[in-house]
Structures are given as structure tokens and as C-alpha cells.
Amino acid sequence: MHCAIQNAEVLDGAHLMQIVWQDGTESFYPAVWLRDNCQCPDCYLHSAKARKLVVEALDVNIGIKGLTFDRKRVHITWPNEHCSDFEADWLKKRCFSQQAREKFQRELFLPECQYWDSELQLPTLDFEDVLRNDKDAYTWLSNLKKVGIVRLTGASDKRGEVLKLGKRIGFLYLTFYGHTWHVQDKIDANNVAYTTGKLSFHTDYPALHHPPGVQLLHCIKQTVTGGDSEIVDGFNVCRKLKEKNPRAFQILSSTFVDFTDIGVDYCDFSVQSKHKIIELDDKGQVVRINFNNATRDTIFDVPVEKVQPFYTALKEFVDLMNCKESKFTFKMNPGDVITFDNWRLLHGRQSYEAGTEISRHLEGAYADWDVVMSRLRILRKKVQNSN
């Protein structure tokens, strides 16, 4: 972005700066915001990219005493003779118009979402390419954000591959089940995943108040029959539910449900949380699904008359997930790593036969979306600069 300033002046009794750009568009900046964001070394620590000026020292009614400009920057003098310089490109990027704000938010948070159903074309990349090549790693994480799932092929059939992916993005998300965990048949299992039975559609760990955002699952050994993986786009199912039954959608997006998880693994734990099964942002957009029937608590903190309508709404939601048009079924092969959005996708597994030895073994791990998005932004910048 290379912007040129055509004119800059002070308005509103010195409390507002107007900039007219070379293309004829206008931007307005409140004086208090400009003073708060002064980029001089006294007000801003450039080595940390962090503000030094504290709110206690900010005059919220401040006005601009003097203003000069050229095509590339503006120079502001404040009543106490402090001076601030702002580059044209820096100001243009932070324009307060709705269009400019929406554009910048899209750049920061990459909200594009591609809905899918049973016809999903599963994005697939090579495991080693993702580890070694920034462009492939960027493709991996951008698809993970956009589609919600990416398969990586060509990993070994040994433990530890998910640790390599954790290092690639930064670090993994430690939970009560450890830095990584193993999905296989276990005696006296402390999790329903550690059995050979069918797993219904769920998100992992809604018993935490901040469930892990991304799940990594590496197939080390696979059973010959059964054990197929099933996934569904929860955001797409929510969209269908809202169209088909707005009342059910309203109930699931407004009712707090208790979740619990108690046991011993990495350490002993007793976890409780409350979540709406469909979590919305302030604009009414679905941002997270919180649903695991195994850890949904027997305690249900609602008035008695709301119990039956809740179950009716939940049943309709689950039925929509399970219809053949919604779910995508596939089988992981040894060396495959499935990486997916645990806030968006619900996943399950078909049952398989228990044998005298372990016939199916996955190693799993979690990552936080903040860590993944951080790496995605860094990789995007690297790839764009290399082009």
C-alpha cells in the first residue's frame, strides 16, 4: 500500500483531523486516538511494537495545536509541544470508515469460510513438504482456517510426528491428557475414545472453558475392518438448522449446558464448564460448537420447563449432522495426519473389533487457534514477500 496525501486539516475545534487522499477519498481521525497512538520513542517501544503511553497520562479531551503535512506523512504538534509524526500508509490502513475497517479485519482474522457436505474434496498435502517449505505450510494453515480440515500424507508410522507439527506452528496445547495422547483400546479406559465402540459426532473437550481450537491426529496403525472416521461441518449444519428450525437454533445458542470430565491421566483432574452448544459472536455468527455427549453432565442448570424443548432441539441438531448429505466418511491410513478445526468440525468414528493385540492406534495433540493464526500470519507475510 502506497498512499499519497493531497490535503490534511483540523476540524471540530481541533478534535478531528481530516485527510483527503490522492484518489479523492477522505479519512477522519480523532485527536485523542492520534495522541494515544503517537509513534515517537517516548510513547511507543518499537523493539516490542507496544505502546508506552499510559491511559493515566492521556488527556481524553486533547486538541491538535498544529498540523503540517506532505505527500507521505503528517506532523502534529500538541498543546504541551509534544510532536507526533504519522506515515501516510500507516494512517490509511487504520482509516475509520466501515469499508476500511472491514478490510483490515479480514486481513487480520481471515474469516473466509468454505462450507462443505458429503461431497467434500479433502485438502491434502505432503507431511514433509509442510515441515520444510513455507509455501506448503502456508497452504496447510490457510486451508485449515478456510475449510476446517487438511490431511497430511507421508508421515512415518512411529510416535512423535504430531510433535513435529507442533514445533512447526510454535507449540502444542497441554491438557490433562498430556502434550500428546494415544487413541487405542485400553482396559478401564478413562475416555470413551479409548474403546473400540462407535464414537458419535462430537467436539473435543467442551469440559474446558477454553476448548482446544485445533486437533492433530496421526494414524500409526489402522484396523482392517471398521474404524472409519466421520466428520461433519458444524457451521454448515448450524446454517441448515437455523433455516429449517429457527426455534431449535435459538434454544441451542442461548442455553448454557454443563460439561464435566473427572479422572487421572497426565495428572488427576476434575473439570467443569458451562457452554452454549452453538456459540455466537456479537453479530450472530457461529464461532464455535461445544458438544460432546459423553461429557455432557447429568447436572442441567435450567428451569424444569426448558428441559424438554432443549432435548427436542438437540435431537434435531444431531439428526442433521448424521444425515448422509452432511457427513463425510473416510479411512485414515498409517502415515496420515488429519488436522482440523475443533471449534467447527464434529468428528466421530465407526466401531471396530477388539483383538488380542492393539489393531488401531492414533496419536493426537491439540493446538490453540491463537498459536495457529500467529504462524499463519507470519507465513503469509513470508510467502507474499518472496513473491
pLDDT digits (tens, 9 = 90+) for 100-110: 999 999 999 99
- For the chain, what is the HEC assignment? CCCCEEEEEEECCCCEEEEEECCCCEEEEEHHHHHHCCCCCCCEECCCCEECCCHHHCCCCCCCCEEEECCCEEEEECCCCCEEEEEHHHHHHCCCCHHHHHHHHHHHHCCCCCCCCCCCCCCEEEHHHHHHCHHHHHHHHHHHHHCCEEEEECCCCCCCHHHHHHHHHCCCCCECCECCEEECCCCCCCCHHHCCCCEEEECCCCCCCCCCCEEEEEEEECCCCCCCEEEEEHHHHHHHHHHHCHHHHHHHCCCEEEEEEEEECCCEEEEEEEEECEEECCCCCEEEECCCCCCECCCCCCCHHHHHHHHHHHHHHHHHHHCCCCEEEECCCCCCEEEEECCCEEEEECCCCCCCCCCCEEEEEEECHHHHHHHHHHHHHHHHHHC
- Which has more pLDDT, 225 or 368? 368
Least confident of 105-109, 249-253, 357-361: 357-361
What percent of the chain has pLDDT above 70? 96
Q: Taking 90 as the threshold, does the pLDDT of residue 229 lie above it?
A: yes
At 335-352, the pLDDT tens digits run 999 999 999 999 998 887
Q: Which residues pair with 16 in a beta bridge?
A: 11, 30
Tell me, what's the pLDDT at 112? 95
